Amino acid sequence: MSQTEVLAIWGAVTGTIGTVAGLLGLWLRFRQHGLDKAKLLCESTFGFDSPNRPTHKLTIRSIGRRPVVIDNIRYFIMPRDWKQRITKTWQYKKGRWLWHQEPKQKAKLNEGEKTEIGISLPNGITITEIHKVEVVDQTGKAWPVKWLASSRLQNVATQETLDEFTKENDKRIVNVTGYRLGEKFFLETIFNTKPGRTGTPCGRSFWFIDLKKYQEKLQNVKDVQSDMFLSGETEEIQ
């Protein structure tokens, strides 16, 4: 092999290496540029502390390099009229059927930080009427929230009263109310533990994951414990 051929091969090799290095450097710069941006991951969770005390909230995490300031939460309400439902995209562009919730304090999130914002809706709007949610930052960019379908929201984010009864005599009284709170069940008992109807009301609550366990406890309180309390045999519902 002549010296000229060797130099030609060496030039081809170094040229290829230079091209690959250039492409790799360009990819790294592009990747770095992609990382050096604001990015939010937004999720929703639903629950209850007790009846009429929901703990529904949004969790917002910053997973980008640049800090982000949360400006407001935008809720998209499903129109109730079928004609408006057909044109809901146009309705939203016109600013209709939207609800904006502003955080009590502007939250600035750096990379790796998170904040939680309780879901707050106006009177007359139920959570099952919300079909999409966005977090809007101070630049006006909207970040989608992972949100449940209406049928799923009905199961996990709503409450209903299942059972109610009152038993009393001339000295004591027992009130019992049972609820479905999301996918759990809640039994609330209120009873007067002192002689006389002017005594101090006391109460005890019970949580259940299983409907059957809830029904068994309800039946026990109704058929056994309430009568024992009213007769003075016991001083509380357990």
Model pLDDT for residues 115-160, shown as the tens digit of each residue: 999 999 999 999 999 999 999 999 999 999 999 999 999 999 999 9
For the chain, give every domain's residue range. 40-155, 159-231
d(CA 4, CA 100): 74
Residues 6+ apart with CB under 8 A from 185: 162, 178, 179, 207, 208, 209, 210, 211, 213, 214
CATH number of 159-231: 2.20.25
Q: pLDDT tens digits for 33-89?
A: 455 689 999 999 999 999 999 999 999 999 999 999 999 999 999 999 988 999 999
User: How many Å apart are CA 119 and CA 54, to the nearest integer?
Assistant: 9
- pLDDT band of 7, cuts 50, 70, 90: very low
Please name the fold of domain 40-155. Answer: Immunoglobulin-like (2.60.40)
Q: Is the pTM of this model over 0.85?
A: no
Residue 153 near residue 131 (C-beta atoms within 8 A)? no
Two domains, one topology: 40-155 and 159-231: no
CA distances from 3 to 11, 15, 39 (A): 12, 18, 56
